[in-house]
Amino acid sequence: MVVSACVALAACACGPEKSGKDSSSAGKPSQSPSSSQPAKESATPSATPPSAKPSAEPTGDQPAPRTKAGAIQRYEQFLHAVGREDIKTVCEVAGPAAKQAEDEGFGPCTSTFVVTFQMIPPAKKKALRTATVDPLRVTMPTPDKAEIPTAAIRASVTFSEDELGDSTLEYLKNNWFITD
């Protein structure tokens, strides 16, 4: 539960501010549960090889895919970054939620998430580096919002809701960001 609280806390403490867009939830579209890494991520190598899926990271002026697959890929990028302790990527993807937590009195993402990293056992961090998301469990209430429950995370170890919690991603400023 402590990790979940820190994840939520850290997810709310840094990154781009949420645009004025508001979206609602619905539906459960499908995608293969394979993992992929965006082409333009951190310079830190990942245990997950790139796939043929389009990148969820915008390249230049090109926006990220505004699709369920794009949201899933972005969330997988976040999970892999948590496993690698890549604070820059974690805080960038979780920016709007992190900003909200900071506004509520928690510290900035770069300091709060470091505490979270220390609370995750090494075996679970390793599992996060290659975790994928089951698209059948992801709902898209609107084209701008994806709901990803903890049960959708596929990894070599099981994560409880207390450890990771459910996440909401919204399409803001041409990319997917964790907003809750």
Residue 41 belongs to a domain: no
pLDDT at site 116: 86
- The answer to whether position 58 is within a domain reads no
pLDDT score at 61 = 55
Strand, helix or coil for residue 65: coil
In a domain, residue 101? The reply is yes
Residue whose token pair is 């974690």: 90
Distance CA 128, CA 84 (A): 8
pLDDT reported for residue 38: 40
Higher pLDDT, 105 or 72: 72
* pLDDT at site 32: 39
Residue 57 lies in a domain: no
Q: Is residue 9 part of a domain?
A: yes
In a domain, 44, yes or no: no
Rounded to the nearest integer, the mean pLDDT of the chain is: 75
Q: Which one is predicted more confidently, 82 or 53? A: 82
Bridge partners, 175 (sequence order): 172
Across 30-39, 114-123, 132-141, 160-169, which has the greatest mean pLDDT?
132-141
Give dist(CA 67, CA 124) in Å, integer: 28
Identify whether 83 is part of a domain. Answer: yes
What integer is the mean pLDDT of 57-80?
84
Helix (H, G, I), strand (E, B) or coil at 148: strand
Asked if 12 and 99 count as a contact pair (C-beta separation under 8 A), the reply is yes
Q: Is residue 140 part of a domain?
A: yes
For residue 141, the model assigns a pLDDT of: 98
**pTM score, whole prediction:** 0.68
pLDDT, mean of residues 27-47: 39
Domain ranges, residue 12: 2-18+29-36+66-178
**According to the model, what pLDDT value does residue 90 have?**
96
Counted domains in the chain = 1
Which tokens is 46 given? 């990942």
Amino acid type, 113: F
**pLDDT beyond 50 at 47:** no
